[in-house]
Amino acid sequence: MQSFQQYIDGSFDDGSARFESVDPATGSVWATMPEAREADVDRAVKAAEQALWTGSWPALTASARGKLLYRLADLVQANAQHLAELETRDTGKIIRETSAQIAYVAEYYRYYAGLADKIEGSTLSIDKADMDVWTRREPVGVVAAIVPWNSQLFLAAVKIGPALAAGCTLVVKASEDGPAPLLEFARLVQEAGFPKGVVNVITGFGPACGSALTSHPGVAHIAFTGGPVTAAHVVRNSAENLASTSLELGGKSPFIVFADADLESAANAQVAGIFAATGQSCVAGSRLIVERSVKDEFVELLRKKAEAIRIGAPLDMATEVGPLCTRRQRDHIEETVAASISAGAKVIIGGQSGEGAGFYYLPTILDCDGINSPSVEKELFGPVLSVVSFNGEDEAVALANDTRFGLASGVFTQNLTRAHRMVKKIRAGIVWINTYRAVSPIAPFGGYGQSGYGREGGIAAALDFTRTKTVWLRTSDEPFPDPFVMR
């Protein structure tokens, strides 16, 4: 049985309580985790506050902050295999994906390392002859970074990288489901040489830990990734202290295939969109919207690809679909698929859980044409694709936008002008054309509507962790003029 610790104020401890972590591939307990409760949260926030205002962190130049981030990136890269194995063990995410993703996580830290000394204020062309006015970008304060289970190291990096580049300090809350890789990552933070309190990593449950963190008066900004119901709690808690928030809440992303598309290529992208990461991806292209004239051909292509998927142990490099992270998640998928079948959805492949004690669910395609299927409306967060068909661009757009979410979308067509029209009409934060599930630290990422607000990635994400201070300097030696007239 392995045992993990939380990281507060530069040291590791066991937390107020302990809880067990289950290996999703076997359903058996494999490790124990530190459960942070209110007292731990309070300690972590106070440590972050202390580090924000005193000690060496606020005195560091932006370039020095960048160097620490470069060192962290190198350590993530050097320890990628170990972190990947931990993530796979604790969340069931396949090793093929975790090892590639964690290597890329290092690039996110490098991107923000390079950005640290490029965060600039400006000199204003002010309309008063005796004044010099300029702005400074200052850290927003203590950041609470809350992540879900599906890509903990990645989803934490898109928050930690820009927040540190901006000079903030953080309390990172790992999900209670599969926290091992993020707790272990804290050891790299320590090794990189960040002053104590700058990054604190805890885990625990929503009400006791998450709520205590989001309602803590010391927290200035909450960067949250998770589901919309929890997000609403987070925003309500943030209101108490007027903390700012950024929310990334998943989606029900449309994957639109026109008859003129390269169907083989589109089918591969659709497999990436819904079966990679066992469908536990915020950008999962879970609604296939396919032109009616090619629907049967395209769905048959997909069925064959789904049939050939290698389902197996997540630590096996050959495995393509592993278990879901939790029993709760598998139950949610089972229930939604059952309700969809009752509503008239036809199972093309899958439609049931895998055998054995692990939390497996078979790659599933549901034909939902012409019916009101819950699987078309709800985010399942699993390997379940719902298929609907259209005739003509207008219907494709109407179906694509028939959702309260708006994170990502895919458009497959060889027609350039149509692709441009679709870009303008789709209501989503990301449009992928003839590709899917591509990400980069350079590109902003975030949603519309119920998919949240704020953007992760890119320069703007770092600026979101700053606030502007405006400085007025009077350059005249004359006495201050009439005090009763605003200048």
Helix (H, G, I), strand (E, B) or coil at 101: helix
The answer to whether 348 and 321 are in contact (CB under 8 A) is no
Nearest to ligand TXE of 308, 438 (CB atom) = 438
Q: Where do we find the tokens 């809880």?
A: 19
- Applying CB under 6 A, which of residues 210, 218, 363, 449 lies at the interface with ligand TXE? 210
Nearest to ligand TXE of 24, 226 (CB atom) = 226
Q: Is 249 in the site for ligand TXE (CB under 6 A)?
A: yes
Strands 123-124 and 131-139: antiparallel
Cα distance from N-terminal residue to C-terminal residue, the chain? 69
Count, residues near ligand TXE per rule CB under 6 A? 26
CB of residue 263 vs ligand TXE: minimum separation in angstroms?
28
List 49, 87, 248, 379, catalytic entry: 248
User: Is 282 designated active site?
Assistant: yes
- Applying CB under 6 A, which of residues 40, 248, 291, 367 lies at the interface with ligand TXE? 248
Q: Is 226 in the site for ligand TXE (CB under 6 A)?
A: yes
Among the listed ranges 1-9, 14-22, 74-82, 209-217, the one in contact with ligand TXE (CB under 6 A) is 209-217
Q: Is 282 in the site for ligand TXE (CB under 6 A)?
A: yes
Nearest to ligand TXE of 85, 176 (CB atom) = 176
Tokens found for residue 376? 């078309």
The answer to whether 221 and 244 are in contact (CB under 8 A) is yes
DSSP structural state of residue 311: B
Q: Is 150 in the site for ligand TXE (CB under 6 A)?
A: yes
Q: Is 173 in the site for ligand TXE (CB under 6 A)?
A: yes
Cα–Cα distance for residue pair 160/145, rounded to 1 Å: 8
- Applying CB under 6 A, which of residues 108, 185, 361, 381 lies at the interface with ligand TXE? 381
Q: Which residues contact 487 (CB under 8 A, 6 or more apart)?
A: 128, 481
List 282, 291, 368, 456, catalytic entry: 282
Q: Is 227 in the site for ligand TXE (CB under 6 A)?
A: yes
Q: How far, in Å, are 40, 126, 194, 430 from residue 164 at the CA level?
A: 22, 31, 10, 26
Cα–Cα distance for residue pair 438/446, rounded to 1 Å: 13
Cα–Cα distance for residue pair 6/25, rounded to 1 Å: 25
* 22 CB burial (10 A radius; 0-12, 13-18, 19+): buried
CB of residue 466 vs ligand TXE: minimum separation in angstroms?
24
Q: Which residues contact 280 (CB under 8 A, 6 or more apart)?
A: 93, 149, 150, 324, 325, 329, 381, 382
Q: Is 234 in the site for ligand TXE (CB under 6 A)?
A: yes
Nearest to ligand TXE of 67, 233 (CB atom) = 233
Q: Is 379 in the site for ligand TXE (CB under 6 A)?
A: yes
Among the listed ranges 61-69, 121-129, 202-210, 316-324, the one in contact with ligand TXE (CB under 6 A) is 202-210
Cα 102 off chain centre by: 14
User: Is 248 designated active site?
Assistant: yes
Nearest to ligand TXE of 79, 203 (CB atom) = 203
Nearest to ligand TXE of 207, 479 (CB atom) = 207
Among the listed ranges 20-28, 96-104, 223-231, 457-465, the one in contact with ligand TXE (CB under 6 A) is 223-231
Cα–Cα distance for residue pair 168/190, rounded to 1 Å: 17
- Applying CB under 6 A, which of residues 50, 91, 169, 225 lies at the interface with ligand TXE? 225
The answer to whether 460 and 162 are in contact (CB under 8 A) is no
Cα–Cα distance for residue pair 100/62, rounded to 1 Å: 30
DSSP letters along 146-192, please?
E--STTHHHHHHHHHHHHHHTT-EEEEEE-SSS-HHHHHHHHHHHHH
Nearest to ligand TXE of 278, 329 (CB atom) = 329
Q: Is 176 in the site for ligand TXE (CB under 6 A)?
A: yes
Q: Is 211 in the site for ligand TXE (CB under 6 A)?
A: yes
- Applying CB under 6 A, which of residues 6, 88, 230, 375 lies at the interface with ligand TXE? 230
Q: Of all helices (H) and strands (E), which one includes residue 40?
A: helix 38-53
Report the catalytic residues. 248, 282
The contact set with ligand TXE (CB under 6 A) reads 146-148, 150, 173, 175-176, 206-207, 210-211, 214, 225-227, 230, 233-234, 248-250, 282, 329, 332, 379, 381
